[in-house]
Amino acid sequence: MFEKLEITRMAQALAAHAGARQTAVAQNIAQADTPGYRAVDLPDFASVYGADDAGPGMRATRAGHIGTEDGTPEFVARTVRGAASPDGNTVSVETEMVKAVEVRQEHDMALAVYRSVSDILRVSLGRAR
């Protein structure tokens, strides 16, 4: 019953988005010296999460229907435009470090939301810490 609360689904999706974006950032940093490598990033969470409910398109009606097996949306990294270095690489390590901080904040927010929901549910059930 409680695992189907929209707020918990949103927090889970936010954490999954943060994890996928962290993977993209780490991949970009690892390839910073690779000639011709194009940096990748994910769209912001609000645009991806809202896209599921935006229109009459396909919607997940049960876990595993659309996206990953656990029912969280699947996040796909896309190439981002940016100034290329003389060797054709578009990775800026400074930009990637800023993105890494944003990702950490996003993940921390997801955990805080999840903890708050859990605390509220515990109190409402009479099981305070």
pLDDT digits (tens, 9 = 90+) for 9-50: 899 999 999 999 999 999 999 999 999 999 999 998 988 887
pLDDT per residue as tens digits for the range 90-129: 999 999 999 999 999 999 999 999 999 889 888 988 876 6
- The rounded distance, in Å, linking the Cα atoms of 71 and 73 is 6
Burial class of 99 by CB neighbour count within 10 A (0 to 12, 13 to 18, 19+): buried
Element (H, E) at 79: strand 78-79
Element (H, E) at 40: strand 40-41
Question: What pLDDT does residue 57 have?
Answer: 43
The pTM assigned to this predicted structure is: 0.75
